[in-house]
Amino acid sequence: MNEVAERTGLLADYDPGGRYCELFGPPSMQAPIPHTQALRERLARMSLDDLRERAHDAELELYNFGITFTVYTQKDAIDRILPFDAIPRPIPPDEWQTLETGVRQRVTAINRFLRDVYHERHVFSDGIVPPDVVFSNPNYRPEMEGLEVPYDTYAHIDGSDLIRDDDGTFYVLEDNARCPSGVSYMVENRHLMLRTFPDLIEDQPVRSVSNYGQRLRAALGEIAPQGVDDPTVVLLSPGTYNSAYFEHIFLAREMGVALVEGRDLVTEDDRVYVKTIRGLQPVHVIYRRINDDALDPRAFDPNSLLGVPGLFQAYRKGNVALANAIGTGVADDKALYAYMPRLIRYYLDEDPILPNVQTNLCREKEGLQYTLDHLDELVVKPVGEAGGYGITVGPHATKEELETCRQQILDRPHNWVSQPMISLSVAPTLVDGGIEPRHVDLRTFAVTGRDTWVAPGGLSRVALRKGSLIVNSSQGGGSKDTWVLE
C-alpha cells in the first residue's frame, strides 16, 4: 500500500508538501513510517467536526485551569494559553534512545565546561574556546570563580531544542541551561490527551511523563548541603506577573514543595529561612526561577526587589544549594553553541551524538563575510536573545528587513550568528482550514543531580502560522503531546 492510499478519512486531503512529516515520514518513502500506524488508523476514523469539538473542549480546560503564560508585548492580551494541537507526535523507541543519549552527553559536556570556566580554565589555555566568548558574555559571573557546587553540577535542569530536517536527522538548535521553561506543558498536554482523546491514546505503548515532579524533587534533594538528611526544598518565583508563573505553581505542586517569593525568605548567619506561621524554618535547596541579577541585591543588582539579601553569601558558604547554579548562562549563549561539538570532544573524548546546525560566527572575519554575502539565504540570530526575538529569516525577509539586519550586524558583529535555513519537519495540525502541515521542533528536559535523567517526552512546539518557522509560544506558537513509544 503506498503513502497516498494510507491517507483516508480525516487525513485524506493532508499533504506534507514534500517535507519530512512526523506522522508519515520522509517524502521519499513509499509507505508511511510503521510506528504511527495505530495512531493514523484511529485518526482516520474520526470526523473533522468531532476533532474540532474535542480540541475546543481541551482549550477550554486550559482556560479553566489557568494554564496560561504571559506575553509582555501584547498589553491587550496579557494572559494567553499555549494552544494545544490535538494530533500527537509519536517518536519510536530507537530514535528516542539516540535523542536521550545525545542529550545526556551534551548536558555532561556543559557541566564539565562550566566547572572548567569557573575553576582551572583549561578550555582557554588549550585553545578550544576563545576566552572573550565567555568573558564578554553578560551571563558570566566572576562571583562564581572557585566556588564548589555539589557533584560539579551547574545545569540541574537543562532544555535542549531539537529540530529535524528533510532526511529525518535531528539537530540541536539551542541549549537552555539557565531557566528552561515549558515542562509543565509537556505534562499537561498528556493529561489533556488522556481526558479529551482517550480513544487515541488508549492501549498505545506511550511512556509516562507524569513523574517529572518526583524525579526533579529527588535530584534537588541530592544536592542539599552535606549532613542534611531531610532537606527542605522551595521553588523561588518572581511572582504572579512572571510569564511562566503557572509553571512555577505547577512544579511546586508536583514536587510537593513550597512556592515562595523573595519576600518569603530571609537570611541569618549565612543561612536561609522561610517565614512560616510557626516561625522561621531552614531552607536547604532553592529551585530558583529568577535570573542571576535579581537573586540577591547585596551581591548583584542592588535595585532588585525580587531576591533575598544575603542569599549569595549563604550559597558561597555551602549552606544552601541553588538550581540552576549561578552563571550557567554562559553555556547557552548562541555564540558558545558553535563550539559545543568541540567541547564534547574535548571533555568527553567522544564524537557528538546529536549534530549542531552549521553556525557562522559574525565575530570572526570569515563568518561575518559569509553572512553578509548570503544574507538572503540564512537565518540570522542575536546571540543573547531568547524566545525567537530578533531573528531574521533571510528567504522570507523583505529587502528593507535584510538591509536593517545587515546594518545591525555591521554595528555589532560579535552580537550575531547565522545558520542555513533548515527545512524543519512538519506534523499534521488542526487549523481553520482543516488538517494542514505545520513546522515543529522538540524541547527535551534533562534533570541532573548525581546523574542525568531525560524525561521520556518533551514539548513539541508548533508554528501555527502557515509557512512560519518560529515555534516559540511568545511568537504565537502552539504545542502537541509528544509520545515516546516503548
pLDDT of residue 464: 85
Give CA angle at 229 (227, 230), nearest 5°. 135
pLDDT of residue 179: 87
pLDDT of residue 422: 86
pLDDT of residue 474: 65
343: which 3 cell numbers? Answer: 567541547
Query: What digits encode the pLDDT tens for the residues 20-64?
Result: 999 999 987 777 899 999 999 999 889 999 999 999 999 888 888
Three-state secondary structure of the chain? CCHHHHCCHHHCCCCCCCCCECCCECCCCCCCCHHHHHHHHHHHCCCHHHHHHHHHHHHHHHHHCCCEEECCCCCCCCEEECCEEEEEEEECHHHHHHHHHHHHHHHHHHHHHHHHHCCCCHHHHCCCCCHHHHHCCCCCCHHHCCCCCHHHCCCCEEEEEEEECCCCCEEEEEEECCCCCCHHHHHHHHHHHHHHCHHHHCCCCECCCCCHHHHHHHHHHHCCCCCCCCCCEEEECCCCCCCCHHHHHHHHHHHCCEEECHHHEEEECCEEEEEECCEEEEECEEEECCCHHHHCCCCCCCCCCCCCCCHHHHHHCCCCEEECCCCHHHHCCHHHHCCHHHHHHHHHCCCCCCCECCCEECCCHHHHHHHHHCHHHEEEEECCCCCCCCCEEHHHCCHHHHHHHHHHHHHCHHHEEEEECCCCCEEEEEECCEEEEEEEEEEEEEEECCCEEECCCCEEEECCCCCCCCCCHHHCCEEEEEEEEC
Residues in the chain predicted with pLDDT less than 50, given as ranges, are 1-5, 77
pLDDT of residue 25: 94
Percentage with pLDDT > 90 across the chain: 77
Give CA angle at 109 (108, 111), nearest 5°. 65
pLDDT of residue 2: 42
Query: What digits encode the pLDDT tens for the residues 453-470?
Result: 999 999 999 998 887 777
pLDDT of residue 427: 96
**pTM score > 0.85 for this model?**
yes
1: which 3 cell numbers? Answer: 500500500
